[in-house]
Amino acid sequence: MYETLEIETDGAIGRIWLNRPQRLNALSTQLLEELADAARQFDANSEIRAVIVAGRGRAFSAGADLQGFPTLGDSALRQAADAGRRMAEALENMRAIAIAAVHGWCVGGGLVVAAACDLRLATTSARFSIPEVDLGIPLAWGGIPRLVREIGPALTKELVITCREFDAGEAQSAGFLNRVVDESELQDAAHEMAAAIAAKPAIPVFATKRHTNAVTANMVGTDRAWSDADSLIAALADAECDAAREAYIRNRVG
C-alpha cells in the first residue's frame, strides 16, 4: 500500500516502519504524506490500541530529505513545506497511543516524528541532533512547541540554536525519553509497552491521552505551527541561509 513505509498489525497493536533504509529513513515529502495517511488509517480502526513507530536499517531517521524538494517559485513548494506539520498532527491526533522506538540517529525532522508520539523509547547508543539552523532553515513542522512541551524552553533553545548532538542518556534526563534499553531489547520493550497499554480499558486510556494533549496544547500552542512552512520558505530564499546550507553540506562531504 505504501512505498516508503511498512505497516503491520498484531491484534490491538499496530506498527509503522519508516522504510527508506538506504537513505537512513530520510523524510521525503512522499514519506511524510504516507505517514500521515497511515496514522489516519490506524485511527479509523477502533481495534487498534497502540501503534509503534520505528525505522528500518541503521537509523530511526536522518531527518528531512531536501533532495527532490520543490524549488522556489514551484507551485508545489508551500504544500511540500507544510507536509511535516500535517504528518505530526495526524500522528499526534491518533486515538491509539503512539510509541516511538528510536535507534541509531534521530535527526531534525526525525525528532519531530518522535515528539509527535505519546511515548518514546531509545537504545543506549541512539544519537540525537537538530541541525536545521546550521542548514540555514528553522526547525519547522511544529517541532518547537513540541520540544518545549517535552523538555522546556531553555533546553529547546540551546539544542535548536547550537545544533549540538546529544545522547539517549541526556534525552531521558531531559524528559524526552520514557525509557532507554539495550539495542537488542528495543523492539521487545516497545511491544511490551504497547501490549500493556492494549490490555487496559480503552475509554480511560484514550481520555487520558486527549486530556493531557488538551492541557499541553493550551500551554505551547501547536496550532500556531501552520505558519512554519512560510518561515521555511523565507529561509530558503535568504542569501545568508543559502550560504550556510552550502557550507554545511560542503563540510559534511569534505
CA distance 105 to 111: 10
CA-wise closest residue to 66 among 86, 91, 49, 83:
83
User: Per the domain annotation, does 251 fall within a domain?
Assistant: no
Average pLDDT over residues 153-175: 98
The arithmetic mean of pLDDT across residues 68-85, rounded, is: 86
CATH number of domain containing 123: 3.90.226.10
- Residues 35-63 have pLDDT tens digits of 999 999 999 999 999 999 999 999 999 99
Give percent above pLDDT 70 in the chain.
Answer: 99
User: Which residue matches cell numbers 535548536?
Assistant: 160
| Helix ranges restricted to H, 107-142 | 109-116
Mean pLDDT (the chain, rounded): 94
pLDDT at 254: 55
User: Closest by alpha carbon to 151, among 133, 170, 134?
Assistant: 170
* Straight-line distance from the first to the last Cα atom of the chain, in angstroms, rounded to the nearest whole number: 39
Q: Is position 142 within any domain?
A: yes
Q: In sequence order, which residues have a C-beta less than 8 Å from that of residue 188 and are 6 or more positions away? A: none
What is the model's pLDDT at position 83? 95
Residue 55 is assigned to a structural domain of this protein:
yes
Give domain status of residue 41, yes or no: yes
Q: Are 72 and 236 in contact (CB under 8 A)?
A: yes
Closest by Cα among 141, 122, 140 to 55: 122
**Helix pair angle (83-92, 109-116), 10° resolution:** 20
Residue 110 lies in a domain: yes
| Burial (CB count <10 Å: 0-12, 13-18, 19+), residue 91 | buried
Asked if the model's pLDDT at residue 190 lies above 80, the reply is: yes
pLDDT of residue 1: 86
> Which of 19-23, 76-80, 212-216 has maximum average pLDDT?
19-23
Residue 207 lies in a domain: no
Task: Decide if 161 is inside a domain.
Answer: yes
Q: What is the mean pLDDT of residues 184-208?
A: 98
Q: How far is CA 17 from CA 60, 159, 207, 238, in A?
A: 9, 27, 27, 35
Specify the pLDDT at position 253. 62
Residues in the chain: 254
Contacts of 5 (CB under 8 A, 6+ apart): 16, 17, 18, 19, 31, 34, 35, 38
Residue 91 has pLDDT above 80, yes or no: yes
Domain, as residue range, for 21: 5-183
Q: Which single residue is written with the C-alpha cell 520558505? A: 233
pLDDT, residue 181, reads 98
Q: Within a domain: residue 223? A: no
C-alpha cell at 144: 518547537
Give CA–CA dist 92/151, Å, rounded: 17
Q: Which residue has the cell 541526556?
A: 170
Q: How many domains does the chain fold into?
A: 1
**Does residue 143 surpass a pLDDT of 70?**
yes
Q: What type of residue sits at position 115? A: A
- 148 residue type, one letter: V
pLDDT tens, residue by residue, 174-183:
999 999 999 9
**Is residue 45 classed as helix, strand or coil in its secondary structure?**
coil
